[in-house]
């Protein structure tokens, strides 16, 4: 990364973290590892770069990996007001410092953010995506129509934990008892609650793509790079329908299903996801 746009800081854990300054002055923290063509990892909702440390290590055996905290998360800064364009600018700032061949990998809503970056003209060579959570058929379950309002109200009342629970149960489909179990793991629950304020960001990234309607081809027409869309064989069929729909409208896309995996595979089973990403990015 070019030194004039990057500085190092010492994180809370004592480790060294690079900081890239985005277009609006927000500092975006990232870790760089490996060598070769670069890939930037884009996190999902309720996640920061700690969730993709294992995947980053596997990919770093083949690529330069930039694992970053999206704005408002981890060691990254934030601005008073949020727009999806600012998150796209964050990715553009990271890509701009890498030079040469750069690809993006994103999971869930992070996959959609990566798509939006490519559609907006950020210069990337390839996109690898895991289960972008589009809802493209009427019969497929999507989030409540008033999701943004409900989450916003809970956050405005300072009920960040309740906002996390609402998102997990109403959007991610997690049983309430499973959320209660997570509350018994203080470190994990504290981290999730600490990310609650970024839930509106992911809701904005998804926009109106989860309403059970076909994807708008015009919205994604700028994505003309080779794209791999991965889904898990144990995930609900809606993810595969969405992936197939996306692959059907992008000119250079392929869809592959990985047997035995579910929506959390990027974190829980990175050794099974990494080989497909490596194969694709090596072309």
Over residues 65-116, the pLDDT tens digits come to: 999 999 999 999 999 999 999 999 999 999 999 988 899 999 999 999 999 9
Whole-number pLDDT of residue 14: 36
pLDDT, tens digit, 9 for 90 and up, residues 172-228: 988 999 999 999 999 999 999 999 999 999 999 999 999 999 999 999 999 999 999
Least confident of 8-22, 26-40, 118-132: 8-22
Task: Tell me the mean pLDDT in the region 119-144.
Answer: 96
152 burial level (CB within 10 Å; 0-12, 13-18, 19+) = middle
Q: In percent, how much of the chain has pLDDT > 70?
A: 94
CA atoms lying within 13 Å on the CB side of residue 98: 31
Average of per-residue pLDDT across 33-58:
97
Q: What is the mean pLDDT of the chain?
A: 94
Judge if pTM exceeds 0.85: yes
Which residues on adjacent β-strands are paired with residue 66?
Answer: 32, 40
Q: What pLDDT shows up at residue 100? A: 81
Query: The sheet that has 27-33: what strands, in order across it?
Result: 6-10, 16-21, 27-33, 64-68, 38-42, 102-107, 126-130, 227-232, 253-258
The pLDDT score that the predictor gives to residue 7 is 60
Where are the alpha helices (H) located in 99-185, listed in sequence order?
Answer: 109-119, 147-156, 160-170, 176-182
Residue 6 has pLDDT above 90, yes or no: no
Q: Picking from 82-91, 167-176, 252-261, which range would have the lowest pLDDT averaged per residue?
A: 167-176
């Amino acid at each position: 990364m070019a030194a004039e746009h990057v500085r190092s800081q010492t994180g809370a854990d004592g480790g060294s973290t690079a900081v890239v300054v985005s277009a609006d002055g927000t500092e975006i923290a990232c870790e760089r590892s490996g060598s070769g063509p670069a890939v930037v990892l884009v996190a999902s909702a309720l996640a920061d770069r700690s969730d993709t440390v294992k995947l980053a290590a596997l990919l770093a055996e083949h690529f330069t990996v930039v694992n970053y905290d999206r704005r408002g998360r981890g060691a990254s800064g934030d601005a008073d007001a949020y727009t999806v364009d600012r998150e796209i600018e964050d990715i553009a700032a990271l890509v701009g410092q890498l030079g040469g061949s750069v690809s993006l990998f994103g999971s869930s809503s992070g996959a959609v953010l990566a798509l939006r970056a490519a559609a907006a003209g950020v210069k990337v060579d390839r996109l690898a995506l895991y289960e972008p959570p589009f809802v493209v058929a009427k019969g497929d379950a999507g989030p409540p129509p008033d999701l943004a309002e409900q989450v916003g109200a809970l956050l405005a009342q300072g009920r960040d934990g309740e906002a996390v629970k609402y998102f997990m149960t109403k959007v991610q489909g997690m049983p309430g008892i499973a959320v209660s179990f997570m509350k018994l793991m203080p470190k994990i629950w504290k981290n999730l609650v600490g990310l609650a304020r970024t839930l509106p960001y992911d809701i904005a990234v998804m926009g109106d793509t989860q309403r059970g309607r076909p994807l708008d081809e015009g919205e994604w027409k700028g994505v003309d790079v080779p794209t791999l869309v991965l889904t898990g064989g144990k995930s609900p069929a809606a993810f595969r329908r969405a992936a197939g729909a996306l692959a059907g409208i992008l000119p250079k896309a392929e869809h592959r299903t990985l047997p035995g995996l579910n929506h959390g595979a990027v974190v829980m089973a990175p050794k099974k996801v990494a080989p497909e990403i490596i194969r694709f990015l090596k072309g």
